[in-house]
Amino acid sequence: SQKIEQNSEALNIQEGKTATLTCNYTNYSPAYLQWYRQDPGRGPVFLLLIRENEKEKRKERLKVTFDTTLKQSLFHITASQPADSATYLCAHPMDSSYKLIFGSGTRLLVRP
Amino acid sequence: ETGVTQTPRHLVMGMTNKKSLKCEQHLGHNAMYWYKQSAKKPLELMFVYSLEERVENNSVPSRFSPECPNSSHLFLHLHTLQPEDSALYLCASSQDTGAGYGYTFGSGTRLTVV
């Protein structure tokens, strides 16, 4: 079955550094990947989508890469701030359908 | 507010109760979804509606019953739930079901079954 793997351990970094989160997927090559941010007690918020023919996508301090050979997406936050502390979720469609499946997320903690 | 409103935010119910969760969006989206989020587990897709028609019922027990009376409203009717059904229930909408549209989620209903 398809699976999305994200590091379950929290990532703890100093303010101003670049945070890099990893999303690995198995058994299927999705046409696109999405990244979301989730704060405690809230629903996820859509951040970025990257398609399989795009190697990199940027939005302000965010950058996402998509390596179809490694079956991996990396999510970078440059010049990180304490306000970036949250859980970040990776998602992709199941099979060739529209149904999105999600990883368990990686919690990011940015120390001031 | 994100554009998707869920009520109530918190709900405690007994195993013999009947209750309903409500979701409302005025984004003009054509697709709406129910997801379940349990602690330490990924979001689980429960139901998908496209243009008010149910297009997916992801092997969800019959004690969960969705209803989509129009493109702006989605309900999840609950009855005779089990304690393991306690979770955060999230509603989401998207412009359409295909082409990789990002989802807009509500804040969720934190459900506790006692």
pLDDT tens digits along A25-73 = 987 888 899 999 999 989 999 999 999 999 899 999 999 999 999 999 9
**Min Cα separation A78/chain B (Å):** 23
pLDDT above 60: residue B1: no
B-chain residues within 8 Å CB-CB of A51? Answer: 100
B-chain residues within 8 Å CB-CB of A105? Answer: 42
Q: Is residue B45 within 8 angstroms of chain A, CB to CB? A: yes
Instruction: State whether B100 and A32 contact (CB < 8 Å).
Output: yes
Instruction: State whether A101 and B45 contact (CB < 8 Å).
Output: yes
**Min Cα separation A80/chain B (Å):** 24
Residues of chain A with a CB closer than 8 angstroms to some CB in chain B: 4, 8, 31-32, 34, 36, 41-46, 49, 51, 89, 93, 98-105
The residue among A98, A101, A104 with the most chain B CBs within 10 A of its CB, best to mutate, is A98
How many angstroms separate the CA atoms of B83 and B15, rounded? 8
Write the CB contacts of A17 (distance below 8 Å, at least 6 apart in sequence): A80
* pLDDT at residue B2, rounded to an integer: 59
Out of B4, B42, B108, the one facing A102 most closely (by C-beta) is B42
* Cα first-last separation, chain A: 41
Mean pLDDT of chain A: 92
* pLDDT at residue B39, rounded to an integer: 87
How many angstroms separate the CA atoms of B98 and B68, rounded? 19
How many angstroms separate the CA atoms of A34 and A93, rounded? 9
Grade residue B43 by pLDDT with cuts at 50, 70 and 90: very high
Q: What is the pLDDT of residues A23-38, one digit of tens each?
A: 999 878 888 999 999 9
Pick the residue with more confidence: B112 or A31?
B112
Task: Work out whether the CA dihedral A50, A53, A57, A63 comes out positive or negative.
Answer: positive
Instruction: State whether B42 and A93 contact (CB < 8 Å).
Output: no
B-chain residues within 8 Å CB-CB of A34? Answer: 100, 102-103
